[in-house]
């Protein structure tokens, strides 16, 4: 365009025509810095476009300056991105007013429009694009955070469900398997027809009950339905049958079982509370069958101002005859059941007695809190 004589200001003869190439070359070189050093490129470009006005002028120099202004907003610092559209807007308004006051002709408005197109227009376009990019980045980060939180919630839900399944499986099956292990060991140790017959009867009864419990658990895991699940959940009304089974299983070990149910008459407690209390008693009886010495195992259930209290006392000491191995998972499971409901659980030796104590909230509001 310079060789064809296309100039932006052909009426200026302060410098030779080739001088217009100097600002053009300088601004073209600044294009190499438009991303890495946008502020430097804009400062040098501003000086170059001012110098261009003292020559015959080049339209390409002005076009390059508009790109440097745009790049300074898009790739510059956040402060520069906020400052440049405001400052160029004020410059455009100031130039327009100044030339109107000086020239007092309609052409003065055209000068203001050109100034706005060269400076304010590119800055405003860059700010718009930058805002859209930042909004897109923020939306992507929010989506990633939402996905991460969802994955964490899913992992926590899976972990909680696995822990619940482990507690249910342990509490339902451990009692029956412990009785089977003790009586099968007794049958092998005492080789008499009567002992073997009694042991086989207990083994068969516990095998059948354990199989029924396993089927119930499988039904729950397969989501058989809310009504079936609710009807299959044990409650405190089944404690008498639970102790009756413990008497059958523990008679050969010299154990007696006593139930003291001090609950006042009234509506049943929430299902999670009754299930937790039932499982705590069941696991305590299982531990007594495996580890308690001959004596009386006492189970007490009562309603107090603090909620539902469960107490199981077992004789502690040297035990003759067979023992069933233990892993400690039962105590962990009982503590988890109480903690999940916001209750308290303790277990330990007190002299010649092994004491299990649990306090569970008796009201739904306490559980939800």
CATH class of segment(s) 234-369: alpha beta
**CA pair distance 358, 369, nearest whole angstrom:** 19
Strands 353-360 and 255-262: unpaired
State residue 232's pLDDT score.
Answer: 54
Q: Is 104 helix (H, G, I), strand (E, B) or coil?
A: coil
State residue 349's pLDDT score.
Answer: 87
Domain boundaries, the chain: 17-143, 234-369
Per-residue pLDDT reduced to its tens digit, 317-367: 776 555 555 556 778 888 888 888 888 999 988 888 999 999 998 774 444
Per-residue pLDDT reduced to its tens digit, 162-173: 777 777 776 666
Query: Going by C-beta distance under 8 Å and a sequence separation of 6 or more, which residues neighbour residue 72?
Result: 34, 38, 39, 41, 42, 80, 84, 123, 126
Q: Is 295 left (phi over 0), alpha (psi -120 to 50) or beta?
A: left
State residue 52's pLDDT score.
Answer: 86
Q: What are phi and psi of 329, to 5 degrees?
A: -65, -30
Per-residue pLDDT reduced to its tens digit, 177-214: 767 776 676 666 666 777 677 677 777 777 877 777 77
Residue pair 344/308 in contact by the 8 Å Cβ criterion = no
Query: Going by C-beta distance under 8 Å and a sequence separation of 6 or more, which residues neighbour residue 196?
Result: 187
Residues of the chain with pLDDT under 70: 10-14, 170-176, 178, 182-183, 185-191, 195, 198, 220-233, 319-328, 364-369
State residue 228's pLDDT score.
Answer: 44
Query: Going by C-beta distance under 8 Å and a sequence separation of 6 or more, which residues neighbour residue 210?
Result: 172, 173, 176, 177, 180
Buried b (16+ CB within 10 A) or exposed e, 135-145: eeeeeeeeeee
């Amino acid at each position: 365009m310079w060789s064809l004589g296309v100039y932006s200001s052909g009426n200026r003869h302060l410098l030779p025509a080739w001088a217009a190439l100097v600002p053009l070359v300088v601004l073209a070189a600044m294009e190499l810095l438009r991303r890495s050093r946008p502020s430097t490129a804009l400062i040098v470009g501003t000086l170059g476009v001012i110098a261009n006005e003292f020559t015959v002028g080049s339209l390409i120099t002005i076009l390059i300056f508009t790109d440097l202004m745009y790049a300074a907003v898009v790739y510059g610092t956040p402060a520069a991105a906020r400052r440049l559209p405001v400052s160029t807007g004020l410059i455009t308004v100031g130039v327009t007013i100044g030339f109107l006051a000086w020239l007092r002709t309609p052409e003065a408005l055209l000068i203001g429009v050109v100034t706005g197109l060269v400076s304010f227009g590119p800055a405003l376009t860059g700010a718009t694009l930058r805002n859209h990019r930042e909004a897109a980045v923020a939306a992507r980060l929010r989506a990633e955070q939402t996905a991460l939180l969802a994955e964490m919630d899913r992992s926590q839900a899976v972990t909680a469900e696995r822990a619940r399944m482990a507690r249910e499986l342990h509490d339902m099956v451990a009692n029956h398997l412990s009785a089977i292990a003790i009586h099968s060991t007794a049958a092998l140790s005492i080789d008499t027809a009567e002992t073997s017959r009694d042991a086989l009867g207990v083994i068969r009864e516990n095998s059948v009950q354990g199989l029924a419990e396993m089927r119930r658990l499988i039904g729950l895991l397969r989501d058989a339905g809310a009504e079936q699940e609710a009807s299959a959940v044990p409650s405190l009304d089944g404690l008498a049958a639970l102790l009756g089974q413990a008497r059958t299983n523990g008679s050969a070990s010299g154990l007696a079982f006593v139930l003291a149910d001090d609950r006042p008459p009234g509506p049943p407690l929430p299902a999670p509370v009754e299930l937790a209390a039932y499982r705590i008693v069941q696991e305590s009886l299982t531990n007594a069958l495996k580890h308690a010495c001959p004596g009386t195992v006492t189970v007490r259930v009562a309603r107090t101002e603090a909620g539902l209290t469960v107490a199981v006392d077992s004789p502690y000491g040297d035990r003759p005859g067979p023992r069933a191995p233990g892993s400690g998972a039962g105590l962990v499971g009982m503590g988890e059941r109480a903690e999940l409901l916001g209750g308290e659980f303790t277990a330990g030796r007190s002299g010649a007695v092994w004491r299990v104590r649990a306090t569970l909230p008796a009201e739904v509001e306490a559980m939800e809190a």
